[in-house]
Amino acid sequence: MAENIHPIFDQTLSRTSKEELLRQRALVIWMVGLSGSGKSTLAKGLEFALHQRGHLTQLLDGDNLRSGINNNLGFSETDRMENIRRSAEAAKLFLSAGVVTICSLISPTSEIRNLAKSIIGESNYYEVYINAPFEVCAQRDVKGLYKKALNGEIKNFTGLDAPFEEPQNPHLEIRTYQDNYEVSLQKLLDAILPRITFAALG
Ligand SMILES: Nc1ncnc2c1ncn2[C@@H]1O[C@H](COP(=O)(O)OS(=O)(=O)O)[C@@H](OP(=O)(O)O)[C@H]1O
Ligand SMILES: Nc1ncnc2c1ncn2[C@@H]1O[C@H](COP(=O)(O)OP(=O)(O)O)[C@@H](O)[C@H]1O
């Protein structure tokens, strides 16, 4: 911890008291996958579906974060690590407010994902691998980035000249190259709803 810094751990309201107010259990849902795999589409759909069911949510999407608190970061290994560190710290703040927090960031290496998990805390971290192979994402090319990367106009592109290590033990895997959007979203909801449902004590 930095010198001469004195956080006020004992004076803050507990997370539990906020979860009781919101009648939900907080969780960080960390969506991992290649650009174009379906992270943002499913993160938005999940947030909307949870909201409709009465949950307070917050969506933290890589592209959005990179337009704000992470706007000085690029795509080197060091910058991606810092991108994930800040994003995980932001997620941790929402978690402490009792909010169901959905993070959609490529998070390309196990080292980076371990960093996120260690900041958020293992019991609060729910990793979802949004799986679509490079070729499928390149075929979709939602933003035209694959075309540019394959033409050499973008460097350090994930899956091309920057690494993507597949998650080995995600809590959930969604294969968007097999399942359509509706099926994918239902699988997410089936897995997540029981984990955020409030169970009153006593
Ligand atoms: N070189 C390179 N590699 C990968 N992605 C690139 C790159 N340059 C720009 N983009 C755009 O940045 C989005 C990924 O940002 P993330 O913060 O999720 O990336 S990371 O977790 O730090 O690796 C990514 O968004 P998604 O397509 O939603 O994944 C792209 O829009
Ligand atoms: N099962 C699915 N779930 C989510 N998106 C899908 C699925 N199948 C096909 N797609 C398409 O894949 C693309 C994913 O883009 P996007 O959500 O922006 O990905 P990412 O955020 O990972 O870069 C969209 O065009 C979407 O319509």
pTM above 0.90, yes or no: yes
Residues 189-197: contacts with CB under 8 Å, at least 24 apart = 189/46, 189/49, 189/50, 191/128, 192/27, 192/29, 192/46, 192/50, 192/126, 193/50, 193/53, 195/25, 195/27, 195/126, 196/24, 196/25, 196/26, 196/27, 196/50, 196/55, 196/100, 197/24, 197/25
**What pLDDT shows up at residue 11?**
64
Q: Which residues are part of the catalytic machinery?
A: 107
C-alpha of residue 36 to centroid of ligand 2, in Å: 6
Which ligand approaches the C-alpha of residue 74 most closely? Answer: 1
pLDDT for residue 1: 63
The verdict on the CB of residue 109 being under 6 Å from ligand 1 is no
| pLDDT digits (tens), the chain, 202 positions | 678 888 776 667 899 999 999 999 999 999 999 999 999 999 999 999 999 999 999 999 999 999 999 999 999 999 999 999 999 999 999 999 999 999 999 999 999 999 999 999 999 999 999 999 999 999 999 999 999 999 999 999 999 999 999 999 999 999 999 999 999 999 999 999 999 999 865 4
Q: How much distance in Å is there from the Cα of 128 to the middle of ligand 2?
A: 14
Task: Consult the annotation and say whether 68 binds a ligand.
Answer: no
Structural domains of the chain ordered from first start: 19-194 (3.40.50.300)
